[in-house]
Chain A
């Protein structure tokens, strides 16, 4: 069973209009590589030119922010869910 990646509304036009995409990976970084390989136009919406995740893109593994886990190196297993959520803020 692949790892599920939940795609937020604004990124779906670049992900074949899908809300959930299955990927095969052992780490969060590999999951994103697989995701971008499946849907290349997602890359520029997720990563800046230096290849880092854009600052406003939050990534959760199940209920944990990967920044507080092992970031890209965070291990994933089948049945895990990765959720992408852009930040919501303003003035």
Chain B
């Protein structure tokens, strides 16, 4: 299982992290699930970070944005398959807050480390199980060259 993403969209979400540095960026990955449990990203939707109280180390996407994105995805025959955010001057690994606040099981959580304004590493993690036993597992990020 892997998260497949075209190079242009991969670059787009990394550039979003550079643009918002030293604040965290965030957004939604829209695409399709395949029969084997893998996912293909077709669209990257940039969102605003509503955590204006602590944007350098927290992010939150407005639920009203999620409602709109989910509705438009369904109309296009697609789904929300994951989310992304950046870690300014912090490793591209999930934090305890990331796990606590993760609730979209089966979806990918992509994290980009942005050091001194430049995107460095981008990793994907898959949220598994359910609320009481949840965990984030390393997931292969497959970049599709076009």
Contact = CB atoms under 8 A, between A and B. Distances in A.
Contact of B104 (A9, A19, A63, A83): A9
A90 B102 contact: yes
Contacts, number: 87
B79 A63 contact: no
A88 B57 CA distance: 15
A9 B78 CA distance: 11
Contacts of B67: 58, 60, 63, 83, 85
Contact of B74 (A6, A60, A85, A88): A6
B51 interface: yes
Interface of A: 6, 8-10, 13, 19-20, 45, 54, 56, 58, 60, 63, 65, 81, 83, 85-91
Given A10-B103, A20-B74, 16 more contacts: A8-B104, A9-B79, A9-B80, A56-B101, A58-B63, A58-B66, A60-B67, A85-B63, A86-B104, A87-B60, A87-B101, A89-B59, A90-B95, A91-B96, A91-B98, A91-B101
